[in-house]
Structure 1
Amino acid sequence: MDAVALAGTVPAFLGVVLLIAATPGPAMALVVRRAALRGTGAAVPTVLGLEAGLLVWALLAGAGVAAAVAASEVAHLVLRVAGAVVLLWLGGRALWRAGRGGGEAPVPGGGGAGAGAGRRAFGEGLLVQLANPKLAVFMVALYPQFVPAGSDPLPAAAVLGLLQVAVETALYLGLAVGVGRAGTWFRRPRVGRGLDAAAGTVLVGMGLRVAVTTR
């Protein structure tokens, strides 16, 4: 890997990644909801799960697997259906909680989450990323543009993936801190139900969009 040539592409890569990371999507919806209802500390496992999934896709892109998934109609269909199911399931749960008056008990003062809740939050974030067909297409379309010609794509993709993980982790943790500081307001029953309803609507809408979008 030509480290010098790769370093020259990093500023442009980080600019693109920052713009994409700041765009609202299912990842941001999960982080906001978690931080609002459970506190900043409880959002950390969600962020780590999301970024672990992103790094997996980056490595798969470098190994050529993501390109194969993006090119294969069958693989893309399977991943698209899985992604739609995951998003619809998460969104449906949030809407169900909103309808019944709140299911996940808010933590007074933002006390974080226990080990079991942390593992579930990590798994939820990881699952959302791994079942995201748009992420596979994104990696295939974006990463090769910043890999110097003649470089081994796997280590280059690993470096770019780690950089993207660093940018997104900082952004999402900053978002979690900001939302967590307003936790007392968010944890009011009426506001919590509204947040569940909003997050559920976003996730269901994105799930339906994934389901009907072929590419």
Structure 2
Amino acid sequence: MELVALLPAFVVAVVLISASPGPAMALILRRAAVRGFSGAVPTVLGLEAGLYLWALFAGAGLAALVAASEVAFLVLRIVGAGFLLYLGFKALRSAWRSRGETADVAEEPPVASSRSWWKAFGEGAVVMLANPKAAAFMIAFYPQFVPAGWPLFTTTAVLALLQVVIEVVLYLTLAAAVGRAGGWFRRSKIRRRLDAISGTVLVGLGVRMAAEGR
């Protein structure tokens, strides 16, 4: 019953955290705008798989070791920042290459192949797993909702599963809303501006991650 009493506060906290801007949100919005709802699904699932792994690491005490280790924290920060920069420059390159297009025609979303599905899933997972702030967040967040005397790992795993379900519903709802306007987003001029804006945001987030300390 103690855990049940804490669930409303946990759900509210998860919703507020999920709605905050960051790499995950930027990745989902761009993917849904360019690839449509179905194209955003693997990105969302990859992000949530990464989140759940971090939660399990937190429950097992591994996330605390990562957060406490200067070397591990630095390596993750460099990898995470580098990957965000890669995604950002990739979007900026797409905007640059399409600058000569004059026809403002809506493109059809690319047909997803098995390889592209797993690539999008992997991008989401790497963005989450290579974020050292995720480790610091997990070890600070979950213990607040684990009642005294309850097993930390098992309770954290259950709470994390609830968080994953909530976030999948929220993010897929957002992706569906953006995907409904996909034809507009995929018009040549709009797509170019979207690539430029999302690329700039991702590069900015990468630079901030690289520059931030603990």
Q: What TM bracket, shorter-length normalisation?
A: over 0.9
1:167-194 per-residue CA deviation (whole Å, 9 max, x = no partner) reads: 1101110011000000110000111111
Q: Is the 8 Å Cα contact of residues 59 and 154 (structure 1) preserved in structure 2?
A: yes
**TM-score normalised per structure 2:** 0.93
Q: In the alignment, which residue of structure 2 is the partner of 1:71?
A: 68
The match for 2:102 is none
Q: How many residues align?
A: 208
Cα RMSD (Å) of the superposition? 1.4
Partner of 1:128: 127
Distance in 1 (alpha carbons) for counterparts of 2:4 and 2:199: 40
Q: 1:38 aligns with which of 35, 38, 59?
A: 35
List runs of 5+ in structure 2 lacking aligned partners.
100-105
* 1:94 and 2:61 correspond: no
1:8 aligns with one of 1, 5, 8: 5
Q: Counterparts of 1:43 and 1:133 in 2: how far apart (Å)?
A: 24
Closer/same/farther in 2, CA of residues 210 and 116 from structure 1, 3 Å limit: same
Once the two structures are aligned, what percentage of the paired residues are identical? 59
Deviations 1:117-175 (A, max 9, x none): 11110010011000011111110111111111121111111011111101110111001
Give me the whole-angstrom Cα distance separating, in 2, the residues matched to 1:137 and 1:201: 26
**Aligned residue for 2:103?**
none
* Structure 1 Cα separation of the partners of residues 192 and 133 of structure 2: 29
Give the Cα–Cα distance (whole angstroms) in 2 for the partners of residues 75 and 111 of structure 1.
Answer: 38
Shift of 1:107: 5.6
1-side partners of 2:46 and 2:19: how far apart?
18
Separation (CA, whole Å) in 2 of partners of 1:200 and 1:192: 12
Among candidates 46, 49, 71, match of residue 46 of structure 2: 49
CA contact (8 A) 1:91 1:202 kept: yes
Q: What corresponds to 1:117 in structure 2?
A: 116
Q: State how far apart, in whole Å, the 2-side matches of 1:41 and 1:163 are.
A: 23
1:63 is matched by which residue type in structure 2? A
Aligned counterpart, 1:156: 155
* Mapping 1:177-192, distance limit 5 Å: 177-192=176-191
Amino acid at match of 1:45: P
* TM-score, L = length of structure 1: 0.93
> Runs of 5+ in structure 1 lacking a partner?
none
Moved more, 93-102 or 199-208: 93-102
Measure, in 2, the Cα distance between the counterparts of 1:73 and 1:168: 30
For 2:157 and 2:29, the matched residues in 1 are separated by 28
Distance 1:112 1:168 in 2: 25
The answer (yes or no) to whether the contact 2:91–2:196 under 8 Å persists in 1 is yes
Deviation at 1:65, TM superposition (A): 0.6
Q: CA deviation at 1:201?
A: 0.9
Letter in 1 for 2:146: V
